[in-house]
Structure 1
Amino acid sequence: MLSRIKNWLTSSTRSYQAAQGGRRGSALKTMHHPLQSIAAARGTLAARARYLAANNPLAASGVEAWVSALVGTGIKGQAKTPGPLRNTLNIGFENWTDDADADGITDFYGMQALIVRRVVIDGEALAIFVQDGDRLAIRVIEAEQLDASYTANLANGNVIVQGVEHDANGKRVAYHVFDRPAAMDYASTRQRTRYAASEVMHVFRRDVPGQVRGITWFAPVIVRLSDLDGWRDAQMMRQRMAAMLAGFVVSADGSGAPLEGQQSGSTIVGGFEPGTLQYLEPGQDIRFSEPAKIGQEVIDFADITEREIAVGLGLPDYLLSGDLSDVNYSSIRAGMVEFRRRVEALQHSLLAFQFLRPAWRRWATLEVLSGRVDAQVAEALPVSWITPKVHWVDPAKDVRAEVEAVAAGLMSRREAVAARGIDIEQLDAEIAADKARADALGLTFTTMPPAANDNQPAAQAAA
């Protein structure tokens, strides 16, 4: 009775239905302290996401879809400094990308893909600058090497939260990282090292102000993926049982002795060979099993669940499942426009700010200080990032719209060229070289095809 009175008083003072008490409101789950919830659940969620990404086809497809969308062949840096310095920096950076990996396994663009893959699965990725003299390299390490169990108040007023050290103003000043992953710790001899924040690139999506560590992108769909896995296993077993043709001999007196076969207890186990004629005793009959078939409702349920998982991962459902049977031109175009906005926001706010810009700043500073580039440090720091070319749904219409936008002054030619993942200076140099070579050889090409008339068939019909 007291509980009912309390729920009535609570519900009567709240105007939001979702905040009311009562039997209906008591069934709603809550998260009062998101930062504490993230800190407590981050490790468990990441471990479960890693298992799903390694064993579940949909989870693996979702990871690779995000890697392909955010990085593709790689996001390229282009210096914004005008004049010859720009070309010098661009060539030098492109040459450095082959040696960027401290482990020597991939290049700078492959490291981008690795970081995105770990961010999606683990929720975060860590990279450390490795400097040998005036030569720079980067090493990507496991997020678990950042000691999540290390939380303490230091004598100098700094606070360590899950391995990340903050000063009195809340600014990150250091990271406390183990020298080896846990899997390589054979004798518990791992050493924890303090790295200044300027030496570490911590990449994660911040969902809550004050968030210290990242949380896996699979958090909203882990339960769904696990349940769907179990459901698919059950359906697969059902199909296997349905594929087993079983025959049952029924005798009038209940005995099965006249049927030939091997005796197993009180049951006769036998089989039919192709072309066999089996004679039955009078009164006997053979009946075959009729297992239930998979109906349309089962397929619809699987499709709906896959769409829910895709929504939870922030992906169009056809990128997750690879099923384009229900996709048409309008739906795929509308879906891709919205998805590209999301991808562009993550490329610049997450990848560029947390990983690409710090890498460029450190590399450009070393190039100037070592004397390989004759410039001031401030002149070498401005940079823009060219994302991979986005393929169009309808290239003819999209190119025509782009040309018209440039002609009308609604966008610059540099912007249009950058959208293709190309540096405009490099493109112009190649066009000039092609033109000079063609002129020298006396070759003539059509530079601009005539504009197509979409209404030409209708106009001819009207005439």
Structure 2
Amino acid sequence: MARYDSAGNGRRLIGWATPDSGPNRAIAGLQNIRNRARDAGRNEWAAKGARSRWATNLVGTGILARPKIADTALRAKLIALWDDWSEECDADGVLDLYGLQALVARNWIEAGEVFVRLRPRRLEDGLAAPLQLQVLEAEMVPLLDTDSAPGLAPGHSIRSGIEFDAIGRRAAYWFHRNHPGDATTTSIGTADLACVPADQVLHIYEPERPGQLRGVSEFAAILPKLRGIGNYDDAVLHRQEIANLFTFFVTRPPEGATPTPDPLSGGLVETGPDGVPIAPLEPGTGQELAPGEDVKFSSPPDAGTNYGDYMRNQHQYVAAGSGIPYELLTGDLRDVSDRALRVILLEFRRHCQQRQWHILIPQLCRKIRRAWAKSAWLAGRLTQAEFRHALQVEWAPQGWDYLHPVQDVDARIKEVRAGLKTRSAAILEKGDDPWAVEAEMAADNARADALGLKLESDPRANGNCMHEDVSPSARSSSIEKGVRISSATRTYDQ
């Protein structure tokens, strides 16, 4: 009968334990994983570096919201209101909105999940919109399972600290009132928990199986290896410390023989606290030994010729397990060509974009934007029509730097001219606002005209209407000389 070899129970696979756990039983011991991941983030450079690299590439300086409406006045109003609120949105009063985004990304990668609580405020608090955000660690929601608890509605149940209604929808989250790692008690009784409606909580995590309720640390698969690498490296370090304790041994004639001066110092033999003779060693010493005496030097161990290769291979495994390119994690660019590095970074950027658009933007950014717009509308900062327009935004993560500036810019220009991409899309990819860029162009042109500046002009030097006879080098030269941006109607080349 035909079957998969991996389904058999032969000699090769007989010791392979494969429990048929569901998506939530499979993450039993989740708190143990979190504790070890946080310890690795504090004490293991590879874990700390991976966490930092992920947060830097996922968020950078911030994932921005760009209104898509054409009404210039309303657009300016929405941007100003959003920017004012972004500076004061942190319930702890420490970070702005984009700092909170980075904090969320770091904790999501390290602990596997993080919570953001929406905290409505009073009008008299004087905020641009009566709403603030409170970032809470994964430990704040206990891994509690129960079908009965004080205040639990009929037909509701709690699984992994999340309350579900009778048809399986998330109804609430049960939070510790204080962080269990800081509180004096660690009880998880329902009397010690606060029930927060689900529409006031953002749960940021990446489910790896359908039905998975809680997130698992990005480092779960590499924690044992990290521990082993650290122990091995410490052992080598201590071995080298022992090797630095360089010593030698002087053998003398049997007892009863005539005493002789110390062969190295020339004086009497020195002794240590235990009365054992010590022969000091001084730089540049050259001394003949007395008859019958001999010197034997110790042979301390070294780090081993394969130490560097072994550590490099191990950290390649760690990098692969954490999703970070080895070259980016360690800075080791040995034997990596320019072309190979480009392929490596492009693949990593694709992974970052997947997580930006599948996790951070839908689970965090969009929900924060909707809550902000709703609170501003209820507070009278926006009308109902403006509220609907406030939700019409394009999200723009920070753009990637060019790997090859001349080639990359030239390729982007050709895409725009060929109609494969709009100029707005090209600007958004760099994390900039097309409307703001065009406004700056117009302001620059107006200021140049007002000052009577005589700038070299090329009416075809504006995005879509660039012609083939204008070479990249000629365009670069013109830009360096201060070309005035044309305001003529743009048309695609045929």
Q: Distance in 1 between matches of 2:82 and 2:42?
A: 34
Residue 28 (structure 1) aligned with residue 16 (structure 2): yes
Secondary structure of 1:22's partner? coil
Alpha-carbon deviations, 1:72-108, whole Å to 9, x = none? Answer: 1111112223313333212211111100101100100
Cα deviation, residue 29, structure 1: 3.9
Kept in 2: contact 1:88–1:373 (CA 8 A)? no
Stretch of structure 1 that moved more, 405-414 or 287-296: 287-296
| Counterpart residue number, 2:234 | 233
- After superposition, residues 156-305 of structure 1 pair within 5 angstroms as 156-186=154-184, 191-251=192-252, 253=254, 259=262, 260-263=269-272, 265=274, 267-305=276-314
Q: CA deviation at 1:31?
A: 4.1
Q: How many residues align?
A: 441
Look up the match of 2:389: 379
Structure 1 partner of 2:54: 66
Distance in 2 between residues matched to 1:273 and 1:42, nearest whole Å: 58
> 146, 154, 157: which one pairs with 2:141?
146
The structural deviation recorded for 1:432 is 0.7
| Residue of structure 1 equivalent to 2:122 | 133
Matched residue, 1:48: 36
Identical aligned residues as a percent = 32
The one-letter code of the counterpart of 2:223 is I
Structure 2 counterpart of 1:142, one-letter code: E
Check conservation: 1:31, 1:37, Cα contact below 8 A: no
* Letter paired with 1:329: D
Could you report, residue by residue, the CA deviation over 1:419-460 in whole angstroms, capped at 9, with x for unpaired residues? Answer: 11101001110111011111222221567584249xxxxxxx
Code of the aligned partner of 2:63? I
Q: Matches of 1:255 and 1:276 in 2, distance apart? A: 29
Question: Paired residue for 2:333, among 324, 329, 353?
Answer: 324
Cα distance per residue 1:219-257 (max 9 Å; x no partner): 110011000000100111122222332212234659998
Which structure shows the higher helix fraction?
Answer: 1
2:90·2:96 contact (CA, 8 Å) conserved in 1? Answer: yes
CA distance in 2, matches of 1:29, 1:125: 32
Q: Equivalent of 2:68, from 77, 80, 83?
A: 80
Give the partner amino acid of 2:472. A
Residue 415 (structure 2) aligned to one of 402, 405, 429 = 405
Q: 244-253 or 320-329, which moves further after superposition? A: 244-253
Distance 1:255 1:358 in 2: 92
Instruction: For 1:157, give the aligned amino acid.
Output: G
**Residues 174 and 194 of structure 2 are in contact (CA less than 8 Å); yes or no, is this contact kept in structure 1?**
yes
Q: Which amino acid aligns with 1:434?
A: D
- Residue 288 of structure 1 aligns with an amino acid whose one-letter code is F
The farther-off stretch of 62-71 and 30-39 is: 30-39
Unaligned runs of 5+ in 2: 124-129, 263-268, 462-469, 475-494
Asked if residue 109 in structure 1 is aligned to residue 118 in structure 2, the reply is: no
Q: 1:180: how far off?
A: 1.1
SS at match of 1:211: coil
AA aligned opposite 2:433: D
Distance 1:23 1:246 in 2: 53
8 Å contact 1:76–1:387 — kept in the other structure? yes
Over 3 Å counting, the alpha-carbon distance change for 1:314 and 1:284 in structure 2 is same
Query: Structure 1: 5+ residue runs without aligned partners?
Result: 1-12, 454-463
Cα RMSD for the two superposed structures: 2.4
SS at match of 2:167: coil
Question: Are residue 438 (structure 1) and residue 448 (structure 2) matched?
Answer: yes
Task: Verify: 1:451 aligned to 2:472, yes or no.
Answer: yes
Tell me which amino acid in the other structure corresponds to 2:403.
V
